[in-house]
Structure 1
Amino acid sequence: MARRVILPSLPVADEDVARMRLWEAGRHMARQEMWHELDALILHADTARLTTPGGASEARLMIDGAQSDVSAAAIHAIDDGQVPDLSGLTAIERIAAEQGESHAIALVVAQAHLRIGQAWSRSATPERDRSHAHFERAQALLAPYDARALGAPCLAALEAELAEMLSPAVDDVVSAYRRLLALDPGNALHLRAFGLACQRAESEELPLLTQHAARLLPQSGPDLGQSGYVWLFFDALKHCDAALGALDVERFIQGMRDILRRQPSQHLINELAAFCALSMGPDRACKQRSAEKARARLHDCLSWILSEHLHELHPALWTTPDTTPLTLSRHTLPRAHIVKGREMALRVIARHFADQLADGSSIAFSPAGMYRLPAI
């Protein structure tokens, strides 16, 4: 039946192109030692809150690209069981020190320390002291700068990530995210990051998510509307039945409708469709009755998301629906994964509309909505 689902597919979506372009720009300028130019571009993108169509920070993508050569070499060494040579990182630290009051290159170095510290944390023999040394060094590099005074969301976002890595006190993490949300209230990715931080802090009972849905969402401002509730819970719901059990399902559904009314991009539509189809799919068995009821309600939302909004398939979002957009990367998925994502999406859509396809009809998707084509 999947062959009777007519849906245009984009192997590389606009979001992928935008992320690659920015990431590559950061890497290119670092390789060419164009530090002053990179500094200016990062500062402009950050203070102007420039984002990709999918909401990723342009400044953060350039920062990630600029540090990639240094961190990649170190991470490869760690994965091979070796202690990495950090002379390249030390050289960039010296350059950051020469930038005076500007914090942009310090962000590049701090991001590299964060990546290397995370690599030590997940190595075959996790090295807590080594990982924390990198997190602490990143924190020290950023300490002289005031994100609020500078109007620098990237600085606040990196500080929030480091607070989660370093602080056993949940209040410290919450305070860091409150500062970030106050600086950049319209960015949904910050709420997603905060929701994941709450889940990791108290994954069984999740009082933090329900508390901060009430406390923090008013700070997120009118730019997010009811969608703020969706983004706070979105990634936690993929992994945690307790989050599903604690969910206000009606509010979440209203929030999804709000997202697609305010920003009807095909990237977001595919992301929400894949979430409802796969992360909330019937194959997921929830032990809690309330969680199972919530899962089923969210899965049912697939009908109106597909029929009212989808007209362009982005296979990459269907290949890895349980990953998050918080790890920035330039890399597109291999062709085999794109093919797999397309096949999976068409199979899910065909199964969902099996009754309409049973008589041999086809279903087609266009900007005007979904419609049936009778069998010939």
Structure 2
Amino acid sequence: MFRFFRARQARSPLSSRHCTQNMRANDFAVPAALPDKGQLNIPVASMLAEDLIAWNTIEEGRTLARQDRWAELSKKMRAADQDRKTAPDGTPIADLLAFGARSDVVLAAEHALTDGNALCEYDLLGGISELEDEMREYPDDPMITLVVALAHIDLAWAWRGIATDATLPPLHQSRCAAHFDRAADLLPTCRAALPDSPIVAAASCALLAGQRKTNQRVAEEYEHLITLDPHNQRHMRAMGTHLLPRWFGSYEKLEVQALRNAARTADIWGAGGYTWVQFDAIALDEEACARLDVEYFLEGFHDILHRRPDQQTVNMLSAYCAITIQNGQGLNEKADLVRSQIHEAANGLIRDHMTELHPLIWAHAANGFNNSVRINSAERFAARGKRDALLAIRNLFREELHNGMDVTFTPSGLRLSQH
């Protein structure tokens, strides 16, 4: 499963959500150790098996939709949703099936909207109309209705793009609003039929971002979702982001809800409930970072690792402290002090808990764990993650390596020995 890296080796591709092939993660080029100095040795986990779970699930959803096996798709989505099944990175299996089922329509529209020539040739309403027709064939199936609602949300964002409100063309504004409105029309049926469904609750939260109404009860919507699926940290992180002033909240509301979430999920996450809500928010917003209760935030790290000591979690927290939290350095003096304290936590995380390297996690850390980032080359993306990780680890052990010590990560922990 692992191979220690010691010297420069030939590169090999790595899979990702948007670009997956039959590749191994432990064949990337790595920096050679400095001559006559200590050697850094760390096993690199093969991400293939883990990543294929997500990739194969998306492909399964796409295949079922293409073959008009909608009843079977619905059954699989409902079973995965009820059992709270997730891929290794925490993405719900039901979400992956739903994405696969609508991906042909959504990805084609996204391509057309980013390519002027394709836009002239592609019927942007044809694909979603076909999905609507399938939904009408199953009028009493809320999961199929949900797939269509999620497709409308995706298409709304495709029309929205990255333009500002002032520069967004009128046609794009109207199409974006129309797709969000259609999703809003469909989702109540899903909520009524499946009141305890995390995927439906998550869709309701996703819809909030498109409607931007001042009376929206954002915190309450996310609390409902987290109550349904408290073991999934992704929901807590999304709540924190949407409670920033740039979305629907305020710094005061963010702090209150982070503390409230810690209290509500204490039996599962300890102080980690506070950490997860603040996790992405403070990486995005300098003022939120400056206001953070950093001691409680780091206590949450300890509680998270106590409950989730797996290497996926260790690598994510380590990469966050080593790389993500440094984004925005120098913009706010108080935030910089908080960032430095969090950055220092990488020392203990890597020394005391890491046994293997997960390159994709480190690559995503540089983008603030932004899942919407499109990856053109899986090989380059993972190679960058490995380079970032090795640089961070080498810097951490620069004194030992300079003094000729070998730094070796083993399944039983860190081992230092004379070279």
Q: 1:332 to 1:61 in 2, by over 3 A?
A: farther
- Please give the per-residue CA displacement for 1:318-375, whole angstroms capped at 9, x wherever unaligned: 1231446674799795112212211221111101111111112221111221121212
Alignment partners' CA distance in 1, 2:201 and 2:97: 16
Instruction: State whether residues 306 and 370 of structure 1, in contact with CA within 8 Å, keep that contact through their aligned partners in structure 2.
Output: no
Matched, 1:349 2:384: no
Residue aligned with 1:372, SS: strand
Residue aligned with 1:53, SS: coil
1:86 pairs, out of 113, 125, 131, with 125
Matched, 1:269 2:314: yes
Give the deviation of 1:222 after TM superposition: 1.9
Q: 1:123 to 1:78 in 2, by over 3 A?
A: farther
- Please give the per-residue CA displacement for 1:86-106, whole angstroms capped at 9, x wherever unaligned: 222212212223323321111
Unaligned runs of 5+ in 1: none
Alignment of 1:135-174 (within 5 A): 135-146=180-191, 150-169=195-214, 171-174=216-219
Alignment partners' CA distance in 2, 1:332 and 1:22: 21
1:42 pairs, out of 67, 77, 100, with 77
Alignment partners' CA distance in 2, 1:92 and 1:190: 27
Instruction: State whether residues 272 and 300 of structure 2, in contact with CA within 8 Å, keep that contact through their aligned partners in structure 1.
Output: yes
Matched, 1:368 2:408: no
Amino acid at match of 1:68: S
Counterpart residue number, 2:54: 19
- Please give the per-residue CA displacement for 1:50-94, whole angstroms capped at 9, x wherever unaligned: 112232111001101111001111111111243743222212212
Give the deviation of 1:235 after TM superposition: 0.9
Counterpart residue number, 2:43: 8
Q: 1:2 to 1:162 in 2, by over 3 A?
A: farther
Unaligned runs of 5+ in 2: 1-30, 34-38
Amino acid at match of 1:87: G
Matched, 1:242 2:290: no
Residue aligned with 2:268, SS: coil
Instruction: State whether residues 237 and 280 of structure 2, in contact with CA within 8 Å, keep that contact through their aligned partners in structure 1.
Output: yes
Alignment partners' CA distance in 1, 2:193 and 2:71: 23
Instruction: State whether residues 60 and 100 of structure 2, in contact with CA within 8 Å, keep that contact through their aligned partners in structure 1.
Output: yes
Amino acid at match of 1:45: A
Q: 1:254 to 1:267 in 2, by over 3 A?
A: same
Instruction: State whether residues 316 and 333 of structure 1, in contact with CA within 8 Å, keep that contact through their aligned partners in structure 2.
Output: no
Instruction: State whether residues 243 and 250 of structure 2, in contact with CA within 8 Å, keep that contact through their aligned partners in structure 1.
Output: no
Instruction: State whether residues 111 and 138 of structure 1, in contact with CA within 8 Å, keep that contact through their aligned partners in structure 2.
Output: yes
Matched, 1:60 2:95: yes
Q: 1:85 to 1:292 in 2, by over 3 A?
A: closer
- Please give the per-residue CA displacement for 1:284-338, whole angstroms capped at 9, x wherever unaligned: 5244333122111111111111111111111111123144667479979511221
Instruction: State whether residues 361 and 372 of structure 1, in contact with CA within 8 Å, keep that contact through their aligned partners in structure 2.
Output: yes
Amino acid at match of 1:105: I
**TM-score normalised by L of structure 1:** 0.91
Residue aligned with 1:159, SS: helix
User: Percent of counterpart pairs with the same letter?
Assistant: 32
Q: 1:324 to 1:11 in 2, by over 3 A?
A: farther
Alignment of 1:280-295 (within 5 A): 280-281=325-326, 284-295=328-339
Instruction: State whether residues 193 and 326 of structure 1, in contact with CA within 8 Å, keep that contact through their aligned partners in structure 2.
Output: no
Alignment partners' CA distance in 1, 2:408 and 2:189: 56
Alignment partners' CA distance in 1, 2:53 and 2:376: 12
Q: 1:136 to 1:219 in 2, by over 3 A?
A: farther
Alignment partners' CA distance in 2, 1:247 and 1:304: 21
> RMSD of the alignment, in Å?
2.5
Instruction: State whether residues 42 and 63 of structure 1, in contact with CA within 8 Å, keep that contact through their aligned partners in structure 2.
Output: yes
Q: How many residues are matched?
A: 374
Matched, 1:191 2:236: yes
Alignment partners' CA distance in 2, 1:78 and 1:271: 33
Residue aligned with 1:56, SS: coil
Residue aligned with 2:403, SS: coil
Instruction: State whether residues 77 and 98 of structure 2, in contact with CA within 8 Å, keep that contact through their aligned partners in structure 1.
Output: yes
Residue aligned with 1:321, SS: helix
Residue aligned with 1:301, SS: helix
Alignment partners' CA distance in 2, 1:25 and 1:276: 36
Counterpart residue number, 1:319: 363
Alignment partners' CA distance in 1, 2:407 and 2:356: 14
Instruction: State whether residues 283 and 368 of structure 2, in contact with CA within 8 Å, keep that contact through their aligned partners in structure 1.
Output: no
Instruction: State whether residues 64 and 328 of structure 1, in contact with CA within 8 Å, keep that contact through their aligned partners in structure 2.
Output: no
Alignment partners' CA distance in 2, 1:239 and 1:221: 25
Counterpart residue number, 1:96: 135
Alignment partners' CA distance in 1, 2:339 and 2:48: 29
Amino acid at match of 1:17: L
Alignment partners' CA distance in 1, 2:355 and 2:192: 40
- Please give the per-residue CA displacement for 1:118-138, whole angstroms capped at 9, x wherever unaligned: 111116663222111111111
